[in-house]
Structure 1
Amino acid sequence: MNVPTQPVVFKPNSRGADRYQYLTQTDAGTPTGELMRRYWQPVALIDSLPPGAAPQPIRILGEDLVLFRDDKDRVGLIDRKCAHRCTDLALGRVEDGGIRCPYHGWLFDVEGRCLSQPAEASATAKDRIRMKSYPLHEAAGAFWAYMGPGEPPLFPNYPALAGGAEHCYTTRWFGDCNWLQASEGNIDPVHTSYLHQLELSSEDMKARWGVFSNQSRPELAVEDTRFGVRLYTLRKIDGTERSSIRITNFVMPNACAVGGFEGYLGEGGLTMLWDVPIDDQHHWRWEFIFHRSGKLNKASLEAQYQSEKEEGDRMRRKWEDLYSQDRESMKGKAYLGLGECFSVHDIAITQSQGTIHQQADEHLSSSDIAIVRARRMLDEAARVVAEGGDPRGVVRTDADNDFRDMVVVTGEIENGDSKEAYCARFTESPDLFRPQ
């Protein structure tokens, strides 16, 4: 049972630079909060809830919930407050087909139904009690929740989520700032030549990330797609008549599909990122790294990521000491001085914008065309939701659940060749992201 959320009162700020500031607000009843709730959102790693695990507190989109696996191996996501006297069900007992409140013994199943009120005189009073609960889906190592009203849409068959465990590495990071500035960093193709510039330590790393070292002024273009915005980034290659081309995507409303590991494993790699609001001041950065070959070096990825994390998937580097920035390394090619992990670069720099980045203080430029279009698209979609419609990217039919047009590729083209024609070669290929 997913409980209908509050009616939307659509009153975004319409003044100049901060016209889209309301996009940072995602509680129930806000325009962006209602938009977010029309899509499946990742809420927890599957490995974090094995059979017999304790209930897991979850905060998402400003709501406090509890995730639990019952003694029959069913998984539920329900309100964290008991319907009786608002006791914290994260303290509950998992038994008898549900989660039992430790205060007075009320028992709830994974769909929020009250199964038992052991101290009540009426045997049927329990049948009138129903907790808020949300449908769950398991994919790519994560539990996903649909928190909107009505029938959930189909779970999107995005390439990075469809290949199985051997083709995908999944992780997440805690972000100590608003979701929007983190999401916008993912669709900013210029920052990669600066923020992520490194003294690459091996040929493997050069093959993987060498494209980011080109600081020439890129040629940028965007186009709308049925799921979001496609980005084209072209950089001239010195001494040739060719340009590197990267095709990436903004995926509504809080995801992106960007480069994977095609540099050393060949075509068929991409990474999808979700910046999921915990509340308006915090978010989870989810990473789903995919390659169709199934040859991702997961041990290497895990070692690099864990070296930068502490308990709770939080970054070990802290703002208080400027994220342990190594100024000496910056005298070489380490542009930021925060090591080799791109996730650390992204999280640190977006947190440096403040807890909630104030759009009125910014001066957007020509290189921000994808960010401008994404904000407008979110604005348009929030209005569609307020009017009772399905926003862009929501999937209701099997025919629409084929995302081979979500092209992510890095390559080269002759100067003057059509970037759209280059992209079309891949949209027509059914095997680009199909697991081998």
Structure 2
Amino acid sequence: MSTESKLDVLSHVGQGTKMGALFRSVWLPAILSSQLPAPKCAPVRLKLLGEELVAFRNGAGEVGIVQANCAHRLAPLFYGRVEDKGIRCSYHGWLYNEEGQCLQMQNEADASICSKVKIKAYKAVERADIVWVYMGADDPPEFPKFPWIDLPKAQRNATVWIQESNWLQGIEGELDSSHVSILHTNPETMATSPVHRPYSAVDLTPKLYAKDTPVGVLAVARRNAGNEYYWRVAQFMVPSFSSIPAADFPVGGRAFIPIDDYNTYTWDFNYYLKGALPEDFLDYVGKGLAFPPQSEYRPYRLNTGTIVDTFVPVRTAANNYLINRQGASHSSPSGIHGLNDQDRAMQEGMLATPESDGRIVDRDKEFLVAADIAIVRSRRRLMRIVESEESLNKFRELIRDGSAYGVVPLDVLSDADELDDFLQKHQGELYSGVQPA
């Protein structure tokens, strides 16, 4: 398959697309629970996989995620009233519950008509202070058994913000281990972020490997560390989840959830098995040095015209990411403040196809090298899953009980010098529970 057709298949997520069908096969993070802080509070506008939606919390505290517009005259439900039983359109008073069923029409005397009107609604659940949504038409799988999902609140956190690019640019950055030693490392101080050991600042050309797993791909980097090797193993989980190792800080990871073909919700998850999240970690994160970037919660108009309510980074392409060319930041010679700001500057500014409004990389013009092995492997992995209904159903069956997502990354010093030897010694450390078949 040509690079151009791969671009089409992997980048597009709307109804009727192959990647859209894959994303509609898994539970996706939609909004933070804190964005709906109380029963009957203001609703939240969002967009997922190209669909305009509104989230609300009814008087019983239940969350609904439904289409953004009333069935009657297509007025925006966002400007409606959230009541005990649902959300009421302000135009003509049609009331909808969390399942999208119309319960009342204030401008229609025949009450029996209500039963005939139902707007699109998706299954929503709250786990780990996140509202998750399942956008498939069938019954959802069991919830993914991420290692952090049931930890006490003090031991985990989740944040979200918008990225002005196609989702694939984001997740591929997670699989690119060699850029850490360059983009995120200050050569004058040899300082990397606290998630890396000093070897990442010294060895700029790690030996890279990639290996398929049941749920995705291992992205592996081996760096020289004296008489041993410094091994870092990141987990890519289909369709767009990652789990990233940490030397001292809590384990991190991201999810790149498509708003549409041109915009992405970037989610960051951190967890600490030893106890509450360390204060030095919270301080580092609070300064915008890592993930999330410094952001403000506000309405944001997408390049496609839709308005969503989300966290918008302070540093964007519109202000050149507030780059300071006179001095390096804490971790990078670029002069761009934080790790995610640095990543977004690269990913949002990649050469794009003209028809994508600058948002989807023109992969036909890439010059890939050995350092891109995990990216290439992950593209092929995704393509194999979506190549047919049979292969997609096989993946759906794999994730049916949620256990496939119970994987962890690894940051370790080892005397193993090749991947097979390393995995033979450390394979069991890459799973938080029972290994999937």
TM range (shorter): 0.7 to 0.9
Q: Following superposition of structure 1 onto structure 2, how do residues 122-137 of structure 1 map, counting pairs within 5 Å?
A: 122-137=110-125
Aligned to 1:304: 287
- Cα distance in 2 between the residues matched to 1:423 and 1:86: 56
Deviation at 1:100, TM superposition (A): 0.7
CA contact (8 A) 2:159 2:269 kept: yes
1:351 correspondence with 2:348 = yes
Matched residue SS, 1:380: helix
Structure 2 counterparts to residues 367-382 of structure 1, below 5 A: 367-382=371-386
SS state at 2:13 partner: coil
Deviation at 1:309, TM superposition (A): 2.1
**How many pairs were matched up?**
407
RMSD: 2.7
Q: Distance in 1 between matches of 2:145 and 2:342?
A: 29
**Partner AA of 2:346 in structure 1:** I
Structure 2 CA distance for partners of 1:159 and 1:34, relative to 1, 3 Å: same
Q: Residue type matched to 1:409 in 2?
A: L
Structure 1: tracts of 5 or more residues without a match: 1-13, 432-436
The residue type equivalent to 2:313 in the other structure is: M
Query: What is the Cα deviation at residue 28 of structure 1?
Result: 1.1
Within 5 Å, which residues of 2 pair with 1:31-430? 31-51=18-38, 52-198=40-186, 210-237=198-225, 240-260=226-246, 263-264=247-248, 269-296=250-277, 297=279, 299-305=282-288, 308-312=294-298, 313-330=311-328, 334-339=332-337, 341-353=338-350, 354=352, 355-385=359-389, 389-391=393-395, 395-397=399-401, 401=403, 403-404=405-406, 406-416=407-417, 418-427=421-430
3-state SS of 2:60 partner: coil
2:387 counterpart SS class: helix
Using a 3 Å threshold, how does the CA distance of structure 1 residues 125 and 386 change in structure 2: closer, same or farther?
Answer: farther
How far off its partner does 1:117 sit? 1.6
Check whether the contact 1:160–1:270 (CA below 8 A) recurs between aligned residues.
no
CA distance in structure 2 between the partners assigned to 1:346 and 1:159 by the alignment: 26
Task: Give 3-state SS (helix, strand or coil) of 1:314's partner.
Answer: strand
User: How far apart in 1 are the matches of 2:195 and 2:375?
Assistant: 28
Give 2:251's aligned amino acid. Answer: L
Is the Cα–Cα contact under 8 Å of residues 223 and 231 in structure 1 kept in the other structure?
yes
When normalised by structure 2's length, the TM-score is 0.86
Distance of aligned partners of 1:65 and 1:321 in 2 relative to their CA distance in 1, 3 Å threshold: closer
Determine helix, strand or coil for the equivalent of 2:183.
coil
In 2, Cα distance between equivalents of 1:25 and 1:90? 27
- Contact 1:228–1:393 (CA<8 Å) still a contact in 2? no
1:304-352: per-residue Cα shift (whole Å, max 9, x none)? 237722344222123244322222224997322212x212221221111
Q: State the shift of 1:251 in Å.
A: 0.6
Letter in 2 for 1:323: Y
Is the 1:108–1:114 contact (alpha carbons within 8 Å) kept by the matching residues of 2?
yes
* Structure 1 residue 205: Cα displacement: 5.8
**Offset, 1:422:** 3.1
The answer as to whether partners of 2:184 and 2:193 remain within 8 angstroms in 1 is no
- Mapped partners of 1:323, 1:113: distance in 2: 44
Q: Per-residue deviation at 1:248?
A: 0.9
CA positional deviation for 1:215:
3.0
The structural deviation recorded for 1:358 is 0.7
Using the TM superposition, name which of 196-205 and 295-304 deviates more: 196-205
**The residue matched to 2:122 in structure 1 has which SS?**
coil
Confirm or deny: 8 A CA contact 2:65 2:124 kept in the other structure: yes
Q: Equivalent pairs: percent with the same residue? A: 28
In structure 1, distance between residues paired with 2:209 and 2:200 = 18
Work out the CA distance in 2 between the residues paired with 1:273 and 1:331: 23
Aligned residue for 2:304? Answer: none
- Closer, same or farther in 2 for the Cα pair 1:202/1:289, shift >3 Å? farther
Deviation string 1:70-91 (CA, Å, 9 cap, x unpaired) is: 1121110001111111110001
